[in-house]
């Protein structure tokens, strides 16, 4: 998935180093249309819990007997790769706790296949599925994957992209409210990522900050612009040397 709008002239230099925004030739999925007739939630109705577990908590895979046939195929490292990929794509939207734990566990564990195009696509598809299902603990999971230096750099970048898109979806809901603690954590993660100028991660973080700053007033567009200009200047110096 990639951002569909042009962020601004100052990000053109950043875009040169942003690398792939997962599978650049694919159109990002459209957000569900907002329903203007939807009745607002009662004031006393609790918000859904989005971060259900600390980001550094390792999730253990469940007993295979608790999994559907599709999930068992996803988890089966001896199965045909194309079949495993199709199994991920065909997973239902109404996954249960055991299914979420299985997918979380697979993403948390670095594997030799992560160094292959198939392995990258496989984990990208799992992240897509979890985002579509708005899995409990998703933000913590994605943050933990991004922050783990034992993970493949591209997978860390994918996790950061999914984290950005997750919060963009939340910001574009009717309520648009993101708890203050989550917003502080998101801001910290993205500005930390901006410092990783030795990979595509800095560009991804700046693109995300620019996109989210139009939806979340607490993010400072001026600071984003200054950081992007500085990074673009560093890039120009590097290319000119």
**Residue 186: exposure state from Cβ atoms within 10 A (0-12, 13-18, ≥19):** buried
> How do residues 150-190 score in pLDDT, each as one tens digit?
999 999 999 999 999 999 998 887 566 788 889 899 999 99
Domain coordinates in residue numbering, the chain: 1-28+158-241, 53-136
CA dist 58 → 29, 106, 107, 108, 162 (Å): 30, 11, 10, 7, 19
Residue of higher predicted confidence among 69 and 1: 69
**Residue 95: exposure state from Cβ atoms within 10 A (0-12, 13-18, ≥19):** buried
Q: What is the mean pLDDT of residues 204-229?
A: 84
Q: What is the mean pLDDT of residues 134-142?
A: 94
Residue 126 CA to residue 120 CA, distance in Å, equals 10
> How do residues 5-56 score in pLDDT, each as one tens digit?
333 333 434 433 333 344 333 333 333 333 333 333 334 433 433 333 444 5
**Helix then strand then coil, % of the chain, to nearest 5:** 55, 0, 45
Is the per-residue pLDDT at 86 higher than 50? yes
> How do residues 92-126 score in pLDDT, each as one tens digit?
888 888 889 999 999 999 999 999 999 999 999 99
pLDDT of 14 = 42
Residue of higher predicted confidence among 231 and 152: 152
The set of residues, in sequence order, having a beta carbon less than 8 Å from that of 53 and lying 6+ positions away, is: 59, 136, 137, 140, 141
Residue 72 CA to residue 76 CA, distance in Å, equals 6
pLDDT of 176 = 65
> Can you give the pTM of this predicted structure?
0.73
In sequence order, which ranges of 76-220 are alpha helices (DSSP H)? 81-89, 97-108, 117-132, 138-147, 153-171, 180-194, 201-213
pLDDT of 222 = 81
Residue of higher predicted confidence among 25 and 59: 59
pLDDT of 61 = 65
Residue of higher predicted confidence among 148 and 36: 148
Of 97, 76, 25, 78, nearest to 88 by C-alpha is: 76
Lowest mean pLDDT among 1-5, 87-91, 140-144, 225-229: 1-5
């Amino acid at each position: 998935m990639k951002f569909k709008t042009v962020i601004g002239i100052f990000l053109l230099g950043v875009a040169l180093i942003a690398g792939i925004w997962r599978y650049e030739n694919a159109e990002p999925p459209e957000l569900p249309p907002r329903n203007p007739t939807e009745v607002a939630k009662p004031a006393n109705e609790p918000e859904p819990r989005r971060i259900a577990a600390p980001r550094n908590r390792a999730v253990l895979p469940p007993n295979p007997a608790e999994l559907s046939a599709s999930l068992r195929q996803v988890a089966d490292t001896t199965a045909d790769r194309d079949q495993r990929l199709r199994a991920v794509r065909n997973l239902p939207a109404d996954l249960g706790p055991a299914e979420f734990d299985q997918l979380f566990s697979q993403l948390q564990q670095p594997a030799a296949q992560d160094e292959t195009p198939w392995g990258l696509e496989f984990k990208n598809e799992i992240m897509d599925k979890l985002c579509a299902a708005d899995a409990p603990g998703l933000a913590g999971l994605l943050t933990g994957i991004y922050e783990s230096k034992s993970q493949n750099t591209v997978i860390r970048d994918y996790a950061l992209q999914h984290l950005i898109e997750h919060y963009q979806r939340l910001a574009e809901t009717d309520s648009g409210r993101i708890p203050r603690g989550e917003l502080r954590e998101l801001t910290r993660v993205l500005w930390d990522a901006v410092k990783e100028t030795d990979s595509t991660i800095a560009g991804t973080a700046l693109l995300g900050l620019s996109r989210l700053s139009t939806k979340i007033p607490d993010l400072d567009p001026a600071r984003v612009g200054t950081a992007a200009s500085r990074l673009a200047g560093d890039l120009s110096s590097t290319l000119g040397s």
